[in-house]
Amino acid sequence: MNWKNLFRTKNIELLSQEAELQMNPALQLRKALGVWDLTALGVAAVLGAGVFSTIGNAAADGGPAVVFLFIFTAIACAFSAFCYAEFASSFPVSGSAYTYAYASFGELIAWIIGWDLLMEYAIGNIACAISWSEYFTGLLAGYGVHIPGYLTMDFLSASRGYKQVAQLLQSGQTIQSLDSTKISASILHAYHAWEDAPRIFTIPLVCNLPALLITLIITWIVYIGIEESKRASNFLVLLKVFVVLLVIVVGATYVQPTNWTPFAPHGVRGVLKGVSAVFFAYIGFDAISTTAEECKNPQRDLPRGMIYSLIICTTLYALVTLVLTGMVNYNQLGVGDPLAFVFGPKVANIRWLAAMINVSAVIALATVILVFQVGQPRIFMAMSRDGLLPPIFASVHPKYKTPWFSTIVTGIVVAVPSLFMNLTEVTDLTSIGTLFAFVLVCGGILKLGHQRKTEKSKFRTPYINSRWIFPALLILLLFLTAYLQPGKIEQFFSWTDPSQPSLSTWEVLMDKTPFGVFAVGMAVLAFYCFKNQLSLIPVLGLSTCAYLMTELGIINWMRFGVWLVTGIFVYFFYGMKRSRLNQAASR
């Protein structure tokens, strides 16, 4: 095996030939998506848990100024969207960032990004399925329908809750007295779930049944066809957009401008604390590019669908943020269901709208699951076509024209963990994985530079010379940081962290490492901008997404690294030997 083959790229001509090969009826997916269907898929993915859940915690940390974080994150995504759109217009085949990395960086990097996307979609959907279960069971409880606790909770949470309550009971307290102590209702719920669960050989049968069922239902819809997925997505998106618009219009009448003062109570640091929550809201718009082979006119419609969905969702997020922080003080928004809270009995007391919001939250999370379940099998399929996964993953159903085996595997990968696992501590992996994909896609456009001049593309990222602009922006940001946050630069070079005095020198160093690597990378990028006159939009996309990655913490970087190292082992023990491109090059 020639190790240089690991970085052999698929050139534009080869990818174009592959796109033509997929015209074979036995391999071809059904072309059913237009520009508004793609826009609806983007809105379905983006307007989900963010607007109904994470927006509250982000506002509680950053105050009304968190609206700027939504806008900044949307701009970062928009820079990446231009790059995605150009790739999708040039190579209208499934695979998203995996295919684009293959064209620009070579097979090994393509495998890494494909492996990364599998993690992003799977963990994102597991988290959404678990969240959907919580909203759904809460909605049913509001109508007097109570599902047993041991069927709505994962095994680990129930076990932890039982042990915590059991320790208190052993100290002489009773269940009745615990109701008035500081122990949360969720812990008591976990205890009762463990106690009431049926047992097999003394092992309690505790599982999250609603999370399993919604995953299976969505997988079935995706399995039987893209037309059915499109109809379900379009209908559900219209419902949730209607509810969000209703929230904005009705909520605006309850806004008290005094609640917007102070606008940034915890400064820039407080606003940036919500990076993970806010970016999680935007995850999924890139899933549109995985449907390239099912678009009627991908070169024209994919770019439009991505941009339109980002504009719509950013506008709605910004307006909802301003309405929420205007209706109540930002301190009160650190709840899991902020929209239902502000329209509930403690604030506006509009019960019919609060109930409608709960229904819409269930719908919104279902649409997010649907879009991710559409996207992930198509990445499996693209990797299988290249020989990096077994051939059956690329098999297309003769009747439904969907990647049937990949869809089933995706359903199992999401359904089984959502039944038993608690993934609240690893959802940030979804954000870091997505940002990593964005960075590589933007870098891919820069890498292809000279080839793009001869490329037949109906969409081209506008060229703006970054030679002077990007270095000037970096210098400006450096001065603004020194002016707005005095001592911030000096603190970075310190061996201690005043905000966390308990941290050791090693822990402080590790915590600062991501930003240190980012700073060095930006200096190198500025040099190449000056030397090679790189295109500004992909440069800004790469730099903004890389910065957002630094805000996710060293623990998430370490977990992400473990996942990527595991993927590299899989590649060297399976994919490298069976790669069609490497086998062709070795002949």
Does residue 215 share a domain with residue 201? no
Residue 18 resides in a domain:
no
CA dist 532 and 253 (Å) reads: 53
Structure tokens at 280: 């999680």
* pLDDT at residue 454, as a whole number: 46
Q: How many CB atoms lie within 10 A of CB 478?
A: 12
Query: pLDDT of 497-529, one tens digit each?
Result: 666 666 666 666 777 788 888 889 999 999 999
Residue 24 resides in a domain:
no
Q: The CATH number of the domain where 434 resides is what?
A: 1.20.1740.10
* pLDDT at residue 25, as a whole number: 55
Does residue 169 share a domain with residue 134? no
Does residue 185 share a domain with residue 275? no
- Tell me which amino acid residue 347 is: V
Does residue 268 share a domain with residue 227? yes
Residue 308 resides in a domain:
yes
* pLDDT at residue 437, as a whole number: 83
CA dist 291 and 401 (Å) reads: 13
* pLDDT at residue 538, as a whole number: 92
Pick from 413, 446, 479: which residue ends a domain?
A: 446
Does residue 99 share a domain with residue 41? yes
Does residue 350 share a domain with residue 261? yes
Residue 8 resides in a domain:
no
pTM: 0.79
* pLDDT at residue 137, as a whole number: 84
Does residue 407 share a domain with residue 335? yes
CA dist 321 and 338 (Å) reads: 10
Does residue 308 share a domain with residue 279? yes
Please say whether the beta carbons of 60 and 428 come within 8 A. Answer: no
Output helix, strand, coil percentages for the chain, rounded to the nearest 5. 75, 0, 25
* pLDDT at residue 287, as a whole number: 73
Q: Give the residue numbers spanning the domain of 362.
A: 33-143+211-446
Query: pLDDT of 528-578, one tens digit each?
Result: 999 999 999 999 989 988 888 887 777 778 888 888 889 888 888 887 878
- Tell me which amino acid residue 16 is: S
* pLDDT at residue 427, as a whole number: 60
Residue 453 resides in a domain:
no
Does residue 125 share a domain with residue 244? yes
Residue 4 resides in a domain:
no
Query: pLDDT of 14-32, one tens digit each?
Result: 655 555 555 555 556 667 7
Q: How many domains does the chain have?
A: 3
To which residue do tokens 């001049």 refer? Answer: 453
Does residue 89 share a domain with residue 39? yes
Residue 423 resides in a domain:
yes
CA dist 83 and 85 (Å) reads: 5
Does residue 420 share a domain with residue 348? yes
Structure tokens at 575: 């994919």
* pLDDT at residue 19, as a whole number: 54
393 vs 287, 377, 384, 385, 544, CA distance in Å? 18, 8, 6, 8, 35
- Tell me which amino acid residue 406 is: S
Does residue 415 share a domain with residue 342? yes
Residue 336 resides in a domain:
yes
Q: Which residues of the chain have pLDDT under 50?
A: 454
Pick from 393, 420, 446: which residue ends a domain?
A: 446
Query: pLDDT of 385-413, one tens digit each?
Result: 888 888 898 888 888 888 889 999 999 98
